[in-house]
Amino acid sequence: MATTTSRTTTPARTSTAMRVGAGLIALTGLIHLLTAPEQIEEKAYVGVLFVLAAVGSAYVAYRLWRADDRAAWGLGTLIAASCFVGFILSRTTGLPGFKEEEWEALGVLSLVVEAGFIGLALSRLRR
């Protein structure tokens, strides 16, 4: 009798991935929320984008804490990738009317957290 094995994710593994993902995207949101007031003073539209990233991150974290939600993984990936690219562009080519010279520690930490979320999300979305 032939048996087949299928790639299934165990509930504990799913739960761990969901919790780690929720934590990473929540941290992304927290970093952006904490730095939003400074960004609003420098360039209003950049500060507003920081607030939107924080709100979107909180929503994704909530959804991932409750369920292994493909839409939440996708939205979180979009948010994290946008923040990542925005940080890099703001220090290299610049954004419209906005260019930073300094690569501050909190920004670099944010890049690491966002890359971690993106990697985890892509592994969850490929299932």
Domain CATH for 17? 1.20.120
Please give the residue range of the domain that contains residue 36: 13-125
pLDDT value of residue 127:
79
> Model confidence at 7, in pLDDT bands (50, 70, 90)?
very low
The reply to whether 4 falls in a domain is no
Domain assignment of residue 71, yes or no = yes
The answer to whether the predicted template modeling score (pTM) of the entire model surpasses 0.85 is yes
Confidence (pLDDT) at 73: 97
Q: How many CB atoms lie within 10 A of CB 121?
A: 26
pLDDT, the chain, mean? 91
C-alpha–C-alpha distance, residues 53 and 79, integer Å:
6
pLDDT reading at 5 higher than 60: no
Total domain count, the chain: 1
Q: Are 86 and 32 in contact (CB under 8 A)?
A: no
Q: How far apart are CA 102 and CA 42, in angstroms?
A: 14
**% of the chain at pLDDT higher than 70:** 89
Q: What is the band of 12 on the pLDDT scale with cuts at 50, 70, 90?
A: low
Assess if residue 3 is contained within a domain.
Answer: no
Residue 81 in any domain: the answer is yes
